[in-house]
Amino acid sequence: MDILLSSAYLAPIQYYAKLQQCDGTAYIEAYDNYAKQTYRNRCMIVDANGALALTIPTEKTTEGKCLMRDIRISDHGNWRHRHWNALEAAYRHTPFFLYYEDDLRPFYEKKHEFLYDFNLELTQLMCQLIGIDTPLQRTTEYASSSPTLDLRQCIHPKQEWHTDETFVPKEYYQVFKEKHGFMPNMSIVDLLFNMGPESILILNESNCRR
């Protein structure tokens, strides 16, 4: 079955577990109204102090509502430099950071105009590195009703992953596990840098089919 997901910046493991489980096409919504405090411009990583949110600043719009596809990335606060430094500080001692850093670093050196495009390219890269072969497609209009499995509201910082009966995060090695305990459903980069090629196995084991 095809699935429908919101755009997300280095989305949590739950998001990629859905992509891995999908046996059709994954459509990434481009025509929904942009909303703040979502995974559209924020990811959660784990550093020495615990969970850390990395947020991409966006340009303010003059209109009350703006479609996700039209949201522009702001250069405010030198965020690219800060995000890359945060990723490096958090994961440089993980088993696979050095292996993947050259794939990820260019996203923090090149300026992307639109958040949707930036997120989609990052998602495609993560799928490639992990070995997820589910095709990703942009939506061409807002999907108000669809035969696809609509997961746009399922994965949200304010929506506890516990409420998703088809997702039970499999515990894996985390570099700060002894200090903080296992922290589930962090950004996909937490899984990738800690587990490398075994990431896809963790995603498979985190999926629970009804």
pLDDT at 59: 93
The DSSP 8-state label assigned to residue 77 in this structure reads G
Three-state SS at 46:
strand
The torsion region of residue 185 among left (phi > 0), alpha (psi -120 to 50) and beta comes to left
pTM: 0.95
The DSSP 8-state label assigned to residue 194 in this structure reads H
Amino acid at 121: E
pLDDT at 145: 67
pLDDT at 2: 93
pLDDT per residue of the chain (210 residues) written in tens, 0 to 9: 899 999 999 999 999 999 999 999 999 999 999 998 899 999 999 999 999 999 999 998 766 789 999 999 999 889 999 999 999 999 999 999 999 999 999 999 999 999 999 999 999 999 999 999 999 999 999 977 677 899 998 898 887 887 888 999 999 999 999 999 999 999 999 999 999 999 999 999 999 864
Domain coordinates of the chain in residue numbers?
3-206
28, 120 Cβ separation under 8 angstroms:
yes
